[in-house]
Amino acid sequence: MRIEIVQTIEEIRQEQIVGRTVVVIDVLKAASTIVAALGAGFTSVLPVETIGQAQGLRTEGVICAGERHGKKVAEFEYSNSPTAFRAFKQPGKQLVLTTTDGTIAISKAARAAHVFVGCFLNAEACIREAIKRQLDITLYCAGTRHEFALEDGLAAGLMVHRARQLLPSSKVCDLGIALEASYLQLGGALPGLLLKTATGKRLAQQHGEEDVLYCGQLNEFDIVPTLVNKYLTKATI
């Protein structure tokens, strides 16, 4: 089994998608919000690109969440905020989520054999499930504003590390080896470290510090959001 890392939305190539299991990693914050929402009892999360699309989907059983440039969309119930769902007590709802660029990677990966969504909150479940599918794996970091994002790279590094422990025969690309080492060096200082990343700093300035710290929690959920017909639901694991 080969494990390859892609580090920004732009870089992914068809051969890194087709016939593979792709884990879309966007720690701050789309992936973390999706995991937290499914953990809070939403039946599914539908990532959409525009605010208009989200509004068009509103019905009684649907909650809308999203942000533009870090700020909650005014008409929506929630921002792209994992901590917002901690007190959510209405099981059975659908979530429609739109973010500045966090959902683009998910749609770019749609042609993969399996598409999962991962972050620190569900890293262990994600990599275990990916290994079970027995295909080559692409860890697809969304990055931030077209740049490598440290938090996504470290989550990928953690997944590589666990994959190599669980399946020592797996072959990892050079970047995967580098990021595994980064995680082993820096992972002990999570979640505070996330506040020092480019995105973490920006979010903290926008009063999103609580979210950033929450996104650095390891394996809070045993949930693997899995894309089926544009909807993300919990994989059976």
- Which residues of this protein are in contact with a copy of itself, per CB under 8 A? 147-150, 153-154, 157, 173-175, 177-179, 181-182, 184-186, 196-198
Residue 32: Cβ within 10 Å count: 32
Sheet holding 62-68, edge to edge: 71-72, 62-68, 94-98, 44-47, 231-234, 225-228, 114-118, 21-25, 137-141, 2-6, 171-172
Q: What is the closest distance, in whole angstroms, from the C-beta atom of residue 176 to a copy of itself in the complex?
A: 9
Reading the block at residue 21, the tokens are 């299991």
Q: Which is closer to a copy of itself, CB of 60 or CB of 174? A: 174
Q: What is the dihedral of CA 147, 148, 151, 153, to 10 degrees?
A: 160
Q: Which is closer to a copy of itself, CB of 9 or CB of 96? A: 9
Q: What is the closest distance, in whole angstroms, from the C-beta atom of residue 144 to a copy of itself in the complex?
A: 8
Q: What is the closest distance, in whole angstroms, from the C-beta atom of residue 130 to a copy of itself in the complex?
A: 21
Q: Which is closer to a copy of itself, CB of 75 or CB of 147? A: 147
3-state SS class at 141: strand
3-state SS class at 88: coil
Nearest CA to 47 out of 125, 111, 100, 126 is that of 100
Q: What is the closest distance, in whole angstroms, from the C-beta atom of residue 54 to a copy of itself in the complex?
A: 30
Q: What is the closest distance, in whole angstroms, from the C-beta atom of residue 209 to a copy of itself in the complex?
A: 18
Q: Which is closer to a copy of itself, CB of 102 or CB of 157? A: 157
Q: Which is closer to a copy of itself, CB of 27 or CB of 64? A: 27
